[in-house]
Amino acid sequence: MTTVTGSYAALPGIDVYYEDHGEGDPLVLLHGGMQTLDLSFGALLPVLAPRRRLIPIELQGHGRTADVDREITLANQAGDVVGVLDHLGLERADVLGFSWGGLVALETAVRHPDRVGRLVLGAVHTRKDGYHAEIHDPAQWETSTRMPTEEDFAAMVGEYERYGLSTFEAVNVKLQHTVGAEENWTPAQLAMVTAPTLVMIGDHDFVRVDHAVAMADAIPDAALAVLPRTQHTEVFARVGIVAPILEDFLTR
């Protein structure tokens, strides 16, 4: 039977919640913005757990990790990921991130290349124009078929109400500076990523597929997977498609 241990890593200024699933090569999982481990990876974790040691982390202001008096930046959160690895005595781990978690995963690989084995970037953008234009216009959100649904947003808000450690509105404001940045990484920085990388995206994501192609081209050792009939929030929910792709990539 797989055991699941939830605990906290006491890092400078913040206690970061993480879990420890299974045995084998370690894989860190980083959830999407305004989500929790359950919302991002609830369907995926049971499928991966029999063959790997999974270390899902809830980032600042999400789920069981409270918001603190600190800006939510990629550098801070990459530091938190490394802090959890240090807490567990791990020199290196594969890192998988979805959406905001993918941004943090990429920042970890850029800033701490010796700590990241393989890298999976799910539904990630590197700059503002990596989004479809409609995403920058709130007036189009209600009619966009690329955006999270009302049910998706309700589930996110429900998780904030469930744990009560942060507020949806305050954390969302903190994320926007990075999410809407003109450029978080230059092509030169992407070219310095040493980790073998898998870029995954849905074909109906609000991140442009051609942007994902450009990311995979810019990272020296990168592969690309485009999931058919898949929106942004569905990327890691399509377990039947995603799990074999991940297994192939992570074990090569």
Domains of the chain (ranges; CATH) run 4-251 (3.40.50.1820)
Q: What is the dihedral of CA 110, 7, 152, 174, to 10 degrees?
A: -50
Contact 29, 54 (CB under 8 A): yes
pTM to 2 decimal places:
0.96
pLDDT at 1: 37
Helices (H), the chain: 37-41, 45-48, 74-88, 100-111, 150-163, 168-179, 187-190, 209-218, 239-251
pLDDT at 3: 55
CA–CA separation, 240 vs 47, rounded Å?
Answer: 9
Per-residue pLDDT of the chain (252 residues; tens, 9 = 90+): 345 679 999 999 999 999 998 999 999 999 999 999 999 999 999 999 999 999 999 999 999 999 999 999 999 999 999 999 999 999 999 999 999 999 999 999 999 999 999 999 999 999 999 999 877 777 777 778 898 889 999 999 999 999 999 999 999 999 999 999 999 999 999 999 999 999 999 999 999 999 999 999 999 999 999 999 999 999 999 999 999 999 999 998
Helices (H), 128-238: 150-163, 168-179, 187-190, 209-218
